Amino acid sequence: MNWQMLTAIAQLATVLVGIPSLIYFAIQIREQTRERRQSAVNALTVQWGDLTKALHENAEFTALFLRGVQSFHDLDAVSKLRFSAFQNRFFKNFEGMYYSRREGILSGELWDEIERTMREFLAYNGVRQWWETRKHWHSEAFARVVDAIIARGDEPKAYSGYNLDEIVVPQK
């Protein structure tokens, strides 16, 4: 057997041994990616739940929130600060989800759900007014997404059946 034949056989053996390793490696990467995505979705779900606790555990803040979505400008200074702090956390959460989508962690279907939620909130004048005061706290890419949603001019519907004109601040 000549030298060239031995080299060809050695190369063929290397390829045949390497193919199963590559297949195994690809399967491992796919599983890790799936686990990473699920972990990220779980973390975002927990963050969302923690964030919305303020709305269902504190009647005073819930009333403030409902007044704020109607008009950020009409809130007193302390209420503006509280509403703004909540909205900032809310929108930082949305921004994190946006970047998770851009990185391929969130599926298009999940992002569509998030975007629909954002549209619901951004339809309210108070949220839009707040956004104008704090959009510079967010990345330019995310700000463009929010501005595009606002430009749609959706009608506020999320709280349309709540009789927002009759909000009563709970007594302590």
CA pair distance 161, 82, nearest whole angstrom:
24
CA pair distance 98, 142, nearest whole angstrom:
7
State the pLDDT at residue 4. Answer: 72
CA pair distance 150, 142, nearest whole angstrom:
13
pLDDT level of residue 86 (50, 70, 90 thresholds): very high
Q: In sequence order, which residues have a C-beta less than 8 Å from that of residue 79 and are 6 or more positions away?
A: 64, 67, 68
140 has a pLDDT exceeding 90: yes
Quote the crossing angle between the two packed helices 3-57 and 59-70, to the nearest 10°: 100
Tokens found for residue 154: 């959706």
State the pLDDT at residue 11. Answer: 64
pLDDT level of residue 131 (50, 70, 90 thresholds): very high
State the pLDDT at residue 153. Answer: 92
Its pTM stands at 0.72
Nearest residue to 44 (alpha-carbon basis) of 121, 131, 108, 106:
106
Handedness of CA 100, 103, 105, 107 (dihedral sign): positive
